[in-house]
Amino acid sequence: MAVESLETEMDTAVRVVHLASSLCVKVQEKLRLPSSTNNGHVKSKDDDSPVTVADWGVQAIVSWVLAEVFGGQNLSIVAEEDTESLSKAESLGLLGAVSNAVNEALSEAPKYGLPKPDKPLGSSDILKAISRCNSLGGPKGRHWVLDPVDGTLGFVRGDQYAVALALIENGKVLLGVLGCPNYPVKKECLSNGCNQTTGSVSKGCVMYAKKGSGQAWMQPLVSGGFPESAATVLKVSTVDDPVLATVCEPVERANSNHLFTAGLANSMGVRKQPLRVYSMVKYAAIARGDAEVFMKFAQSSYKEKIWDHAAGVVIVEEAGGVVTDAGGRELDFSKGVYLEGLDRGIVASSGQVLHEKIIGAVYASWESSSL
């Protein structure tokens, strides 16, 4: 398929991620109010990870907009959240909060160049939109892949998170969009927040790329509409010496073996402290040249999901970076919801030379580790 034929898909995806990011900003502001005012707006899933009004709200908005633009009949959306807990009687207040957030955001949709409903969506419309995202993906056909709020723990804590939307066709990622509402303009603010010392920090962006275009782009996130300013081109760092590289890794120990990545970094002579960042913002950091390496070696019982990687992978690759498993093989998005057949872990880097050094170091370190 020619890259050019994705014009409507790309345009819609970028605009809806801008809109969804604006919803997240508003919900995160409410979450940071005293607990009495946000009571019940954060639930725990079976794996104890939090899910919020924003998770369901973003999923409802993206689902509704994609169905409006592309028709709901044959629309396949693979997404993280379901409506089980939201449909329960005791969740009525939560469903009301989700409905309010969704309708407030959709009323602004024309400012983003998107359709809006004739009248506010009712609870049943919103549950229908969320539950439409029940596809399991697979090797055939076209599937939208959504992580409505990647890094919910970061989101709840007022830290980094991402809205991630990708389009996969016949197992290949065609395009990816990442909304990073708290991504700072200044690199150093990624690790220390900067808020305390500099007051108002300029932050928020949407990154996007089409497979095979050789370009990745970034737009600023602006309040209340689609940005008028032109997008800027993203380029990975030119650093290819591990000694000078900044390595990103997940914040949560449950999701990654910090001990192994620390040993690996040490064996390569990495001197900088690791940049521990929530969510797919790690891919964003590599695409923008703020870091050179992202390594994730999950515990053997953990299975990586496609929505945690699809959008980030294509953006890094088109910005000039490389993403493979730890054996140097491309990630396989054709097997459904999970990244099956993953060799040990995932390695993303700013270029082929650095990547090969890391993969070599993984092989050397693996033999002596007890992972």
Has 82 been labeled as part of a binding site?
A: no
Q: Copy the structure tokens of residue 177.
A: 């969009």
Q: How far apart are CA 28 and CA 284, in angstroms?
A: 20
Has 150 been labeled as part of a binding site?
A: yes
Has 332 been labeled as part of a binding site?
A: no
Query: Would you state the torsion angle of the CA atoms of residues 171, 177, 179, 185, taken in this order, to the nearest 10 degrees?
Result: 120
Has 252 been labeled as part of a binding site?
A: no
CB atoms within 10 A of CB 301: 5
CA 75 to chain centre: 21
* Strand positions, DSSP E, the chain: 42-44, 50-52, 77-79, 142-150, 162-169, 172-184, 203-210, 216-220, 232-234, 247-249, 275-276, 293-296, 322-325, 346-349
Strands 162-169, 172-184: pairing kind: antiparallel
Q: How far apart are CA 275 and CA 285, in angstroms?
A: 10
Query: Which residues have a catalytic role annotated?
Result: 55, 152
Q: Which residues of 145-169 are buried (b: 16+ CB within 10 A; e: fewer)?
A: bbbbbbbbebbbbebbbbbbbbbbb
Q: How far apart are CA 271 and CA 282, in angstroms?
A: 19
CA atoms within 13 A on the CB side of 84: 9
Residue ranges for the known binding site for Mg(2+) are 80, 147, 150, 308
Residue ranges for the known binding site are 80, 147, 150, 308
